[in-house]
Structure formats: structure tokens, C-alpha cells
Structure 1
Amino acid sequence: MLITDDFLPVPVPESLTATYLVPLTGLPPTSPRRAVEALAGRIAEPVHGLARQMLDSPLLSVDTRSMSEFPRLPPDLLTAFGASPEQLARLGEATHLVVVQAEYRPGWPPAHEWAARAVAAAMADQVGGNVVDVFGLQFLTPEAALRSLPDERGRVRLVDWVLVPYSSDADGLWFTTKGLRRFGLMELQVQGVPDHLTRAWGAVMTGAARRLLRTFTDGIATEEVPAFVQLPVLATITGHDIAVAYGSPEQQVTTAPVLLRLELDPATDPDADSFLSLRPPAGHTGPPGRYFAAVCATLFGAGAGAGQPDIQYARPGDAMARAVATAREGLPAVRRRFLAGDLSDGTQLVVKYGLPTEDGPEFVWAGVRSWPSPDRIVGTSASDATTDPTIRIGAPVVVAAAEVVDWALLGDGGVIEGGWTQAVLDAGHRDGGAPDAGHRDGG
């Protein structure tokens, strides 16, 4: 494995185990197979079929145990993760537990989690009870558990599987994720987040989890599970990552990408978890909180700390058309500066361009690597395209300058120059970052 300063080797576990519990008073009234068969039509067939197949294999087991045979679940932590007094009372009254466990190799799809949660939800549905997700220490109603499973296209909301708890420390807020390890990736952490960014930074963490999980699972999509996966030291997070993690992939998010540096923080206690820490890029001066505020401003607008961040998406308007015209007028000058090496150290030039679709252009960002001719830009995609599966973050792209609708210079504090379409959004014009098709070449 090649080790460079640009990538961080992250260990991959050999196998993963999912454990779900269904508390009961008495013995279960039906078999797991009958309970799963009763879900026909209520969950997507690929998951329904997977659950049936796993039940017939040694990879999934369903056992009924008396409460005394299972370690006591901590009520304080269950409460912290949303358990109601009624749920805790029913757990205290239970005499037995249905224990559903599944084991599978790391990778996507995570068959152990999909199948185990489906079987546990089926059993809970039969008795009108709840599911306990042991990994997340959460109670789930059968309905909530079933809603969290993949749809017909295999899509899930990552927020249904990964929590983002936080607490205060001397330097601000300490954010972590809880749920990535169920997929084989170490949990994330960030320290020193300003208090007023509580809700916005939770969304950033969820988007970062989505981006890194995708990179991680792409890296282990091989016949043999590798011992390590190389993750980029500089992680590129976009508003699209956040939209997808929250189950809104149709939103054409137009924010500039932001950069977060990835570091491995191994645990000193053998019983504690190691983390992947997200920090400002190297060379950032000032407290980390200042950079985190700039990240939120880039992704959500200048008022990100005031309330729930709002994902903004494309709609045509006069202000946006003017922003595109301004950006295109500045293209020749920024190309000259790029070729002459006149951009500040650590500055990244990115461009936004349109991909043609039946419903109008979809707009994505790319980092500029070279600009050999005025009409041709060679770069690396900084966004995932919804309509073109070949356009993924990190993939090489060639962009026609005629398709460019905006450009920006990114520094330690976010956008330091350009980004006119984003400025329209931040000013309160919900035009999105996309001009209409008639203005896609700047008019």
C-alpha cells in the first residue's frame, strides 16, 4: 500500500456484527420466518428477500433468552438517546428478550444491519413492542425501524443510522458521530465548535460522515477485504453530501465545497474508541472555531448559526443571471493569475459548471488542476452529480469554459474571492446557484 502525505491509512475490521433486541413479557407468539413474511409489501423487496435469505444462513441468528441471561441495558444512556419513560417501563417489565444478531463483511450494502433490523422490526411488530438497537442504544418503534431500511433503489437516510451527539468542554462544543462503526469506519470527532453553531455543525458532521463513508466503502469494494483503506487527508464536503444524508438527493445544492483535514486520533485506553478527527486545513491561523464558522457560512449562508440550516437549491432569477455574468467576465483574468502562479499559497481555484439534463442543467463544482487553453479546464470533481454517475468527488473531469457559471478561490476561511452565485443565496435570494438554461453561457 502506497502511503503519502495526501492520504491517511484507516484500518478495516475483518467482520461486523449487528445486534437488535425485542423485549417481551412471555415467549414470542410466532416464528421469525412468519414474522418476516408478514412484512411483504411494507418494505422494499430487495431487503425483504435479503432478510429471508439471511434467516436461512448461519450469518443471522434469532434466540429468545430470559432477561437474566443478557447484560442489563443502561437506562441513563437509553434516556440520553431518546428513550421515553414508557419504553423504559416496558423494558423493566419484560421477562424475555428476542436477540437478533447478524454478521457480515465490511462493505456496501451492509447486509448484517439491513437484515437484522428488518427481522427485529418484524418480531416487534407482531407483539406491538419496540426494537432496541444495541449499537446506538436506541429504542425504535417497528414503524421507525422499517422506515429506516433501504427503498427500492437501495437508498437510506444516513441520519437514521448515524447519530451526532455533542457536549461542552473548555474550548467549545465537542461533536462525535455514533453509528459509523456499524459500517466498519471509525467514528468522527470535532472539538472547539462555537456554541451558536450547534445545529448547523450537526448537519456538517452528518454530511462529512456521508462523504467519508462513501469513500471508505468504495475502497473496500473488492473481492478480498483489505487491511487498510486510504482516505484523503483533505476531505471535501458539499451541500449535496448533507442533502443526501438527510434523504433529499433531488435537491440541486449549489454551495461551494469546504475542506476539512482528517487526522487519526488513536485511543490510549485499549477499551476506548479511536476517532478520526476533523480539523481546519494545515496553515489555518486562528482558533479552529473561526474556521468552523466559515464552513457553516459557506454551506448554509451567513446566518447559519441563527437556526436550522436550510439547504438551498436551484431556481432561476435575475440576480442569479447577473451573478453568472459577473463570474464569466472574470474568467480570463483568473486564468492568467492561475497560470502565472499568482494565487496565494494554499488557495484552491474551483469552477461551477452545468451538466445537461432533460430538466435543465445540473450544476456541480470542480477543482482546477490545469487550464491548458482558454476553452478547456482540466480538474477534479468537487461534487457528486445526481444525473451522471461518472461525476463523483475526486474523479477527473474536463470542463468546457463555455459551461462555467461561477468560480471561486477557496482559502482557510472558505471563499475568499468569487462565488457570486453563492453571494446571491446568502443575500436571501432563493434563486439557487443555477441560472436558467437561457443564461447558462452567461448571456
Structure 2
Amino acid sequence: MLITDDFLPVPVPESLSATYLVPVAGLPPVSPKTAVRGLAGRLADPVYGLATQMLDSPLMSVDTRSIDEFPQLPPDLLTAFGATEAQLGRLAAASHLVVVQAEYRPGWPPAHEWAARAVAAAVAESVGGDVVDVFGLQFLDPATALRSLPDAQGRIRLVDWVLVPYSSDTEGLWFTTKGLRRFGLLELQTQGVPDHLTRAWGAVLTGAARRLLRDWTDGLAGEEVPAFVQLPVLATVTGHDIAVAYGNPEQHGATAPVLLRLELDPATDPDADSFLSLRPPPGHPGPDGRYYAAACATLFSGIEPDVRYARSGDAMSRAVATARAGLDDIRARFLADGLPPEAQLVVKYGLPGDDGPEYVWAGVSSWDAPERIVGASASDANTDPAVRIGSPVEVAVTEVVDWAVLDGTGVIEGGWTQAVLDAGERPHPTH
């Protein structure tokens, strides 16, 4: 194996396994094979064939066991990863668990994950129950589990398979991925991320995971599983990587690539996980957090995708008033193709939330009716799970608090609320 300063050798596990649970009250009324046959015509052929073949092979096992044989699944962690009260209630009422396990070699496709999730979803659907993804400690309803599986072209949304949890430490936010080990790759981490980049850096890390996973599976494409795959020390991430990871490749224009340095961070505790750390490239001056902010500015066209603020009484309210006063003029210019070549119009608008509005950006694709804007979200929302990067949105003009014209360098006009934030005049957040 060639080792150079340009590549980082990452060890490859000998095999990979997937485990899914289906909590049931009593015994399942149908066999797993019968349940899977009910998916015929509803799953893409490659996945349906894979599930049926693995069910008939020693690579997969499906067993029904008394729930007392298993350690209790931690309800606090399940809740943290999205479990509802109804799902936790069905788990508490279950007498048995259907255990679906599969094993496969590292590489693409990840047959163990696709087949095991398909079989578990089929069983859960047959009993009107839920799927528990043991790796992610997540509940999945059968419809969600089935939607996460590949389409006829083998495409998936990486966000359905890889989570990006974060926590605070003394240096800022610590981000990790949770899901890349499904594919044999070490999880990613970034430390020292500024607090205001919570949503933005989660999207960047998801895009980086997509790019590195592609390099990883390319390195496993041969007939023999190698002992190591060499990943580039300088990884690149683009807006396209983020959009593809979220399943919306057509909704995101090209952006300049952002460079991130890959470092192996081996665990000192044998029971702990090793990580691949993402850091600024060599020679970057100043703190790491400054580079992460600049990277987000590049990847999100110079706008900050996660902004909450009080709307009255300070520089921010003056910025909102200035922006709203210019809405009629910017709409007229947009409709008359009066914006600079290659420029994009974006608007910031409010989404209702328990702790007050959340303000997010959207790219404008049409503005035919004066009172309503049609576009694509430029960020993920905390308050509305349907608002994701690249997802279509309709925005009431009464909810718009800012607008900006962007080119490849960032904001060239507008963006008054962003200017307040960049000047460090951020009001106290509402959450």
C-alpha cells in the first residue's frame, strides 16, 4: 500500500452487520417471507430482489424472541432521536421482538442494511407496528423506512441513513456523524464550531459525509476487500454535495468548493469509537471557527441559514423595515430580468415556533402573485421538518423580513439583517 502525504489510509472492517427490531404484542400473524411478498411492486426491483435473496441465505436471520431476553432500549436516547410517545407506548406494551439481522462485506451496495431494513419494514407493516433501527437508536414507521430505501436507479438520501448530532463544549459545538459505520467508514467529527452555525454546519458535515462515502466505496469496488482505503487528506465539499445528500440535486446551484483537512483521531479507549476529524486546511490563519464560518458563507452563497432574533427595538428591526420597504422594487426588477447576470434573489421569512419565529432563507424561482413567492429552501429549519435544503417552499410576502441579491462572491445587494448579524449586533435569541 502506497502511503503519501496526500492520502490517509483508513482501515476496512472484514464484514458489516445490521440489526433491526420490530416490537410486537403477541406473535406475528405472518412469516417474514409472506410479509416481504406484500412489498412486490412497491419496492425498486434491486432492493426487493436483494431482500428476498438474503432471506433465503445464511447472511440474514429473522427470529422472534421474548422481549425479556433483551436489555431495555433506552427511552431517553430514543426520545432524543425522535421517538414519539405513541411509539414508546407500543414498545412498552410489546411482549416480543422480531429481530432482523444481516451481514455483508464492505462495499456498495450495502446489502446488509438495505435488505434488513426492507424485511423489518415489511414485518412492521404486517403487524401495524414500528421498526427500531438499533444502530441509530431510531424509531421508523414502516412507510418512512420503505421511503429511505433506494429507488430504481439505486439512489438514496444520505440524511435517511446518517444523523449529525452535536453537543456543546468549552470551545464551541462538537459535531459528529452517526451512520457512516453502517458502510464501514469511520464517523466524522468537527470541534470548535461557532454556536450560530448549528444548522449550517450540520448540512456541511452531511455533504462532507456524502463526498467521503463516495471516495470510500470507490476504494472498495474491486473483487477483493482491501485492508485499507486511502482517502484524500484534503477533502472538498460543494453545495451540490449537500443537495445530493438531502435528495435534492436539482435544487442547488454550483458553489465554490470548500477544503477541509482529514485527520485520523484514533480512540484511546478500546470501547470507544475512532473518528475522522475535519479541520481547516494547513496554513489557515486564526481560530478554526473563523474558517468554518467562511466555509458556510461560501457554501450557502454568503447567507446564514440559521437565524432567530427578536423583531423589535434595535438595529435588527430597522434592518427589517428597510428590507420590506424595497420589496415592490426588487419584485419588479426580478420579473423584468433586471438583476445582474448569474445573480440569484433570496428572501428571509419567518416560520412559527414554540419559542417564537425561526427565520430561514429561500431562493426565489417565481413571484407571479404579489402576495406569494415560490422558491427552494436554502437551509434546514428546526421548527418544520418539511423545510430542508432544496425543498420547494411557498412564502407569504407578509412573512418576509429581508431579501438579498447574490452572486458567486456572496451578497451584492440587500441582506440588511445579515449585515446586522455580521457586525456583531445580534440580539438575544428567542430560544
Question: Do the aligned partners of 1:133 and 1:140 also contact (CA within 8 Å) in 2?
Answer: yes
The match for 1:288 is 288
The match for 2:220 is 220
Shift of residue 321, structure 1, vs aligned partner: 3.2
Cα distance change of structure 1 residues 110 and 317 upon mapping to structure 2, 3 Å threshold: farther
Question: Do the aligned partners of 1:319 and 1:424 also contact (CA within 8 Å) in 2?
Answer: no
Q: Aligned partners of 1:253 and 1:19: how far apart in 2?
A: 37
The match for 2:408 is 422
- Deviation string, structure 1 residues 20-53 (Cα, Å, up to 9, x no partner): 0000011110001110000112221211111111
Q: Secondary structure at the match of 2:145?
A: helix
Identical-pair percentage: 76
Q: TM-score, normalised by structure 2?
A: 0.73
1:303 partner letter = I
Q: Aligned partners of 1:286 and 1:279: how far apart in 2?
A: 13
Q: Secondary structure at the match of 1:321?
A: coil
The match for 2:67 is 67
The match for 1:146 is 146
The match for 2:94 is 94
Shift of residue 322, structure 1, vs aligned partner: 7.7
The match for 1:208 is 208
Question: Do the aligned partners of 1:118 and 1:146 also contact (CA within 8 Å) in 2?
Answer: yes
Cα distance change of structure 1 residues 185 and 322 upon mapping to structure 2, 3 Å threshold: closer
Cα distance change of structure 1 residues 322 and 29 upon mapping to structure 2, 3 Å threshold: closer
Q: Aligned partners of 2:186 and 2:138: how far apart in 1?
A: 20
Q: Secondary structure at the match of 2:208?
A: helix
1:423 partner letter = T
Shift of residue 301, structure 1, vs aligned partner: 2.6
1:283 partner letter = G
Which sits farther off after the overlay, 189-198 or 87-96? Answer: 87-96
Q: Aligned partners of 1:247 and 1:302: how far apart in 2?
A: 22
Q: Aligned partners of 2:221 and 2:93: how far apart in 1?
A: 44
- Deviation string, structure 1 residues 139-165 (Cα, Å, up to 9, x no partner): 000000000000111000000000000
Alignment of 1:170-209 (within 5 A): 170-209=170-209
Q: Aligned partners of 2:412 and 2:126: how far apart in 1?
A: 50
Question: Do the aligned partners of 1:60 and 1:102 also contact (CA within 8 Å) in 2?
Answer: yes
Cα distance change of structure 1 residues 304 and 130 upon mapping to structure 2, 3 Å threshold: same
The match for 1:168 is 168
Shift of residue 71, structure 1, vs aligned partner: 2.2
Question: Do the aligned partners of 1:254 and 1:422 also contact (CA within 8 Å) in 2?
Answer: no
Cα distance change of structure 1 residues 50 and 320 upon mapping to structure 2, 3 Å threshold: farther
Question: Do the aligned partners of 1:107 and 1:183 also contact (CA within 8 Å) in 2?
Answer: yes
Alignment of 1:26-425 (within 5 A): 26-251=26-251, 253-307=253-307, 319-321=339-341, 421-423=407-409
Q: Which runs of 5+ in 2 are unaligned?
A: 309-334, 344-405, 416-431
Q: Aligned partners of 1:104 and 1:20: how far apart in 2?
A: 15
- Deviation string, structure 1 residues 212-259 (Cα, Å, up to 9, x no partner): 000000001010000000000000100110010000122352210000
Q: Secondary structure at the match of 1:304?
A: coil
Question: Do the aligned partners of 1:302 and 1:426 also contact (CA within 8 Å) in 2?
Answer: no
Q: TM-score, normalised by structure 1?
A: 0.71
Q: Aligned partners of 1:93 and 1:322: how far apart in 2?
A: 58
- Deviation string, structure 1 residues 354-376 (Cα, Å, up to 9, x no partner): xxxxxxxxxxxxxxxxxxxxxxx
- Deviation string, structure 1 residues 192-214 (Cα, Å, up to 9, x no partner): 11111101111001000000000
Q: Secondary structure at the match of 2:153?
A: coil
2:81 partner letter = F
Count residues in correspondence.
327
Q: Secondary structure at the match of 1:26?
A: coil
Q: Aligned partners of 1:259 and 1:104: how far apart in 2?
A: 33
The match for 1:14 is 14
Q: Aligned partners of 2:412 and 2:160: how far apart in 1?
A: 29
Q: Which runs of 5+ in 1 are unaligned?
A: 309-314, 324-419, 430-443
Q: Aligned partners of 2:414 and 2:103: how far apart in 1?
A: 49
Q: Aligned partners of 1:135 and 1:306: how far apart in 2?
A: 29
Question: Do the aligned partners of 2:302 and 2:411 also contact (CA within 8 Å) in 1?
Answer: no
2:53 partner letter = Q
Which sits farther off after the overlay, 67-76 or 107-116? Answer: 67-76
2:408 partner letter = Q
Which sits farther off after the overlay, 284-293 or 296-305? Answer: 296-305
- Deviation string, structure 1 residues 292-312 (Cα, Å, up to 9, x no partner): 00000000032225449xxxx
Shift of residue 91, structure 1, vs aligned partner: 0.8
